[in-house]
Structure 1
Amino acid sequence: MGVYVHIPFCRSKCYYCGFYSVASIVFKQAFIRALCREIELRKDYLGTYKPETLYLGGGTPSYLTPDELQIILQKLEEIHPLSLSAERTIEMNPEDLVPAKLNELRRLGFNRLSIGVQTFNEKGLKKMNRTHTARQAIDGIFCAAESGFENIGIDFIIGMPGNTLENIKADLKQIQYLPVSHVSVYILSIEEGSVFARQIEKGIFAPPPEEKVTEEYFFVADALREMGFEHYEISNFARAGKYSVHNSNYWSKKPYIGLGPSAHSFNLHSRQWNVANVKTYSESLDKDILKFDFEELTEVDQYNEYIMTGLRTMWGINLDILRSTYKKYWSSVESRIAAYIQQGWAKRDGNHLVLTERGWLVSDYIFCDLFVIS
């Protein structure tokens, strides 16, 4: 089981971002009160499940002060106490990676950092409207390691308009010498409502051609493997088995509770997601009301999610489970699976079906092909 907390505040909006956040702290204190109240109201959501991980995402969780984070963590510990060995992650912007803050985060119990680097190219950072420089990112990562963090992950974006293979090679060369154990590589997606989406509508720029993005993906994956990173999920690479335990729980369909505006929750048989508006979220919880939408998962939903989450990882899906738990769908997908193997998109690993890297690149097609439409 995992606990996710969505902190919706940012200093400014990155142009690619489609996650719910606000570039304002007007509602910060009201949000913290409301979040603590949500934690109390939903104390029984996961029943007897005990939390294995904590993940503070956003937004920019490191935008909160250590005292504000402590208020949230104390309330979480009252309701969902974690073991001392539990993975506790906080997302950070590079400009927040300073000794005083890092020492406070260690004191608060965080043992894993997820840092939004995106690129070490200054022009690329400006194009994304990032609030840090490449130098801040490099110095900050070394500072985090010197502060005692042994599990440091960074985010990296490919598929940016105007980017070159030389830029990517320079980024990878920098990563090689950094004390990081995890790299998340995201292909730029144009999210509805983002600044990039509006710029495309106005003809300011166009996404790069698919074949260029494919070339970048394979180049980055090969380079990271040569550095000793294991490609364990479509977008994720880890050294020395330091996978993201929290995110791996999502892909293995373990239950989790999501707290804060826009946060999603899953209790094995249903999903719910909170209202994506910090003002509405805070004002309703002042009245002990949590505004959310809800979906009960059918057997078809469960099957489709098993396919989608399992095939994202290097462990794949268990064919015995397809034949037993989802027996009624097996006959319709068996021939398609054989075709994927023949095309080099998938392979068998014992009784598991695993997508190859080429298969991961066309995974959206494969998922849709295997899905049952009810």
Structure 2
Amino acid sequence: MEKLLQTQACAFILGVDVSKDSLDVCLIDSQTQQASSQKFNNNKEGFRRLKAWCKLQSCGAGPETLACMEHTGLYTRQLVHYLLARDVRVWLESALQIKRSIGMARGKDDRVDAQRIARYALLHQQQAKCVNLSSVTLERLKDLQANRSRLLKALQSIKVTIKELLQIDPVSGKTLEQVNKKAVRGLEKSIEQVEERMQGFIRQDQSLKQKYDLLTSVKGVGKVLATSLLVYTHGFNRMEDGRKLACYCGVAPFEYRSGTSVRGRTGVSRLANKELKHVLHLAAMNSVRYNQELKAYFERKVAEGKSKMSVLNAVRNKLLHQIVAVVKRGTPYVIKLDKV
């Protein structure tokens, strides 16, 4: 979960470049602007050495310290937990955001990257979004979701190969189908078990269960989309605004024009969560078939001459705004055909 950093500036800024085995850190004293750099192992022993080193720099590595690092997924988890347990303020920032704020940079060096992260955090600390220790449920859901994605890709790879070979060489295709029958069945069973486990974790958490029920009250929103949104929004403690969530999913339209000569087509940005966008697209396709409200909207706009893809993108936006609305309101969605 996230919260905005308080207006009071932090006494120390700790920039951390995280890799699988090591941590390159840069500590800046906010008052003197003096910077110190060091390297540690990315394990518990390395964390203890990091804390001892910070104390040598007159930094208590507590609430007065803001630690900023790029979000590298699994590699940051142990460090984040260690820092949060000691009341250090932790800011996980987008690597792209930091890179673009720096401007043109040549070369690649972990030590220099840590210094750049620290300087970025020092300049933008008032906009920092600090994280709290993520709930065990959300972390487990995230791990299971990643596992489900890997299983789906493996299953799809096998099925597509068999299908293509059946069209070209039916004999070899049948052979491949037979030898992979147990593998396909096993993958399908594993996916079912993962989904059941995810549902079990959601049922155990009352807050997540309540939000999950609200999400699935919107017709067209199934368990996959609802779970994905809970994971990526940290239980809707991030991106509570429909426009921001649409931008994150890559379905918010943006104009492309400048002066009198540049008149590009309005379109969506490629900077998006592709996996979430794919799931949302499937939900939109399902909605224009079975959600009477969105079906009527889709048919009316297509009849007016709008392209089906642009209308479908509008449906994706409507779904997200409906989802955000029911979560904010705390009551299930009710279809009103007279407002289509």
TM-score, length basis structure 1: 0.27
- Pick 1 or 2: higher relative contact order, CA cutoff 8 A, min separation 6: 1
Which has the greater radius of gyration?
2
From the two aligned structures, give the one with the greater helix fraction: 2
